[in-house]
Amino acid sequence: MNWKDLLCKERFNKNYIDPSYDPRSPYQRDIDRILFSSPFRRMQDKTQVFPIPKSDFIHNRLTHSIEVSSVGRSLGLLAGQFVLETKEPTLVRTELSSREGFVLDDFANIVAAACLAHDIGNPPFGHSGEKAIGAFFKNEGKEYTTALIDEEGKDLKTFEGNAAGFRILTRTPGLELTYASIGAFTKYPWSSSSIDDRYLIEDKYGFFYSDRESFESVANKLGLKCRGAGENRVWCRHPLSFLMEAADTICYRVIDVEDSVKLRLLDYQTAVKHLETICYLTPIDEDRFKPEMAEKINETEYLAYLRAKAISSLIYQAIEVWKEKYDDIMNGSFNKELLDISPSNAELENIKQNLIKRAFNHPLVLKIELAGFEVLGGLLREFCGAAFDKFEKTKNRKLFALIPEQFLTAEGKWHANNAEKLLQVTDFVSRMTDSYAIDLYRSLKGINLSIIE
């Protein structure tokens, strides 16, 4: 793979060059397009880890994504510095006004854009929402998948937020991101048909069967290496996607600790021990952790200090691994998470196991996640029934009228193809906010009726 292809500035499905009067780079424009899009805005009311928190301190998908983007920008700058100064100095832009060549900020903005969008396809109620959609099609809604080909049915039964995100980024009018940003966003460049491949590290995938041609065009434009044949093809990851993944891991591991303390699901001393352990492992001498700060500030401020230092330590650990594995990454043979082979791997795993035990499996969290199964399953039951004419005609028409035009065909109808029709329904349901999904479910069940004033 080569960086000229990997940093492709062309826009997906658009054959034009960004206007010369705009001083922003194409990648900066990607960031702005994502920031002002409605799918991004809806993340303000989507669960991060702790569903529908009452405290405004706790993170939702929007605040998490903004923080991940900030960390990703730092990682991108460090990667750009390494590539342009050490590996590919001929790529450096020589004139300020030139459109040729690249600068450090190009790497930073591509990673930042990918990070902003990394959770954009997640349904309501977080990862339990993904499981709820898949469970509906495996069980109650399995009648809808029997007539589909295996690949289409598997997409629904193993519904994946990353694939839904790729669908949003490539199908939402007005986004038309650069190929580089879409490539860096795609954490799992393979379909659900390939998730049993031993090369892969997780049972996840990056695009639905109906979007396979779109992804193939992205992969070809970026020059991503491919192995396998037919529907089982697996592409190597874009080198900058490893940094997007690391930024996400850094934020949710460290921030989940802080959120858990705020919600009193994790005790303060345990949190301090976790974060101090990571802080001591920073590879940067000038950024050394100062434990004496604990005596100078209160507990809340000290926890915030540890959070900042831990994030900084993990950024430098991640980029050191990226540099060390650079050749393997560029030839497509590396497929691990950077932090899994960092000095902090053991402590990050300790944090994960502690949070699973004390926070993620807390009865209050589990009850709300289980309610998400009921809400999403109930909505899919209603709208799939309407799409396949399972109800009385009047009810079908009224349910159809609730679906915004953006989820229908250009003619304002259900799609004639059954697989696409089901994706219309899952697009609609999975893009709801937590609150809207709950309110709509209650209304359809007659539990709560809004009054028009």
The model's pLDDT over 17-36, given as tens digits with 9 standing for 90+, comes to 677 778 889 999 999 999 99
Q: How confident is the model at residue 15 (pLDDT cuts 50, 70, 90)?
A: low
The CATH number of the domain holding residue 171 is 1.10.3210.10
Most confident range (mean pLDDT) of 80-84, 95-99, 150-154 is 80-84
| Residue where a domain stops, chosen among 358, 389, 422 | 358
Structural domains in the chain (count) = 3
Q: What is the pLDDT of residue 390?
A: 87
**Same domain for 85 and 30?**
yes
In a domain, 451, yes or no: no
User: What phi and psi, each to the nearest 5 degrees, are found at residue 298?
Assistant: -80, 175
Q: Counting beta carbons within 10 angstroms of the beta carbon of residue 367, is it exposed (0 to 12), middle (13 to 18) or buried (19 or more)?
A: exposed
A 10 A CB-CB count for 287 gives 13
The CATH number of the domain holding residue 345 is 1.10.3410.10
**Same domain for 99 and 203?**
yes
Q: What is the pLDDT of residues 196-219, one digit of tens each?
A: 654 555 678 999 999 999 999 999
Q: What is the pLDDT of residue 196?
A: 60
Half-sphere exposure of residue 176, counting CA atoms within 13 Å on the CB side? 11
The DSSP secondary structure of 371-425, one letter per residue, reads: HHHHHHHHHHHHHHHHHTT-S-HHHHHHHHHTS-GGGS-TTSS--SSHHHHHHHH
Nearest to 36 by CA among 175, 168, 164: 175
**Same domain for 25 and 133?**
yes
Per the structure, the complete domain to which residue 402 belongs is given by 363-444
In a domain, 453, yes or no: no
User: What phi and psi, each to the nearest 5 degrees, are found at residue 80?
Assistant: -60, -40
Q: What is the pLDDT of residues 239-254, one digit of tens each?
A: 999 999 999 999 989 9
CA pseudo-torsion sign 217, 184, 4, 26: positive
**Same domain for 70 and 204?**
yes
The DSSP secondary structure of 26-37, one letter per residue, reads: HHHHHHHHHHTS
**Same domain for 117 and 162?**
yes
Q: What is the pLDDT of residue 452?
A: 46
**Same domain for 379 and 395?**
yes
Tokens of 385: 């029934």
